[in-house]
Amino acid sequence: MHLNNRVLITGGSGFIGSHLCERLLGEGNEVLCVDNFYTGARHNIEHLLTHKHFDLLRHDITYPLSVEVDEIYNLACPASPIHYQLDPVQTTKTCVLGAINMLGLANRLKARILQASTSEVYGDPTMHPQTEGYWGNVNPIGPRSCYDEGKRCAETLFFDYWRQHKTKIRVARIFNTYGPRMHPNDGRVVSNFVVQALQNNDITLYGDGRQTRSFCYVTDLVDALIRMMKADDTVTGPINFGNPNEVSVHALAETIIDMTGSKSRVVCLPLPKDDPKRRQPDITSAKSKLDWLPATNLRDGLAETIAYFRWFLKN
């Protein structure tokens, strides 16, 4: 069998990373999964460990790494407020030093490198929906800044390497993504609500529940990342990836209660500091440059996610 590429995925045992590992192996690539297991989980990639073209390396990307690869997907970083606020200094180091180390590796190897950036670079946006040209409304000294500003600095580094060293970069701005293998205790709205509903606990809304999010199913996002990596080197991004169908947090809670048959009731708690009120991607650029559109509707994606958490909570 001819292997297409040797691909390095940092954060490869995480929620999105494990799905990306799976898909790239299925397409005939050799995959090197690198993770320090801070938020990633071995059970996410357990089924891949016996694959002859899959390698796992425990490593923290704040330290340099010397391997030989053709492509790098840089996904390593805790991505939920509960996890990235637990050690904010380490979160910033992962964003910034991790980017420097992976860009240095890509530059030496002349490899293509994709940065998993985030909609959080827009902060609590004053523009709606958010386009890639919007510079954001970010608090540089708040409790979310380690992640928001860390990812903004990583983008700066990517584009400076591109200008200074002609590194083959791609920057993907990822909006809310959900699906099987989400961390059950990451504090994110979908995993929170599903776990609470399955256990018939109160569903905790922050604020009045009128704040909105746009939810993209994980396999749709993985498709977007791979399309971007395969695109011409002129497609540097940043490009928004997400589902533009906006839904209120309260409506999401009601949908999950209905789909799980839960006896949970909805309770409201104070809104956390700097929590964005609205989040919706403008994906015009993804459509025109990569011919990408999310294909999974919310109820179908939630059905898969609920089934996963039913299994997870029993095991």
Over the Cα atoms of the chain, what is R_g? 19
Closest CA to 131 of 288, 290, 283: 283
Up-side HSE of residue 256: CA atoms within 13 Å toward CB?
Answer: 35
Backbone angles phi, psi at 228, to 5 degrees: -65, -40
Eight-state DSSP code of residue 177: E
What are the residue numbers of the active site?
147
Closest CA to 271 of 214, 202, 205: 205
Single-letter residue type at 163: R
How far, in Å, CA of 183 to CA of 39, rounded? 8
Secondary element (H or E) of residue 222: helix 218-230
Count of other CB atoms within 10 angstroms of residue 192: 22
Closest CA to 229 of 75, 108, 98: 75
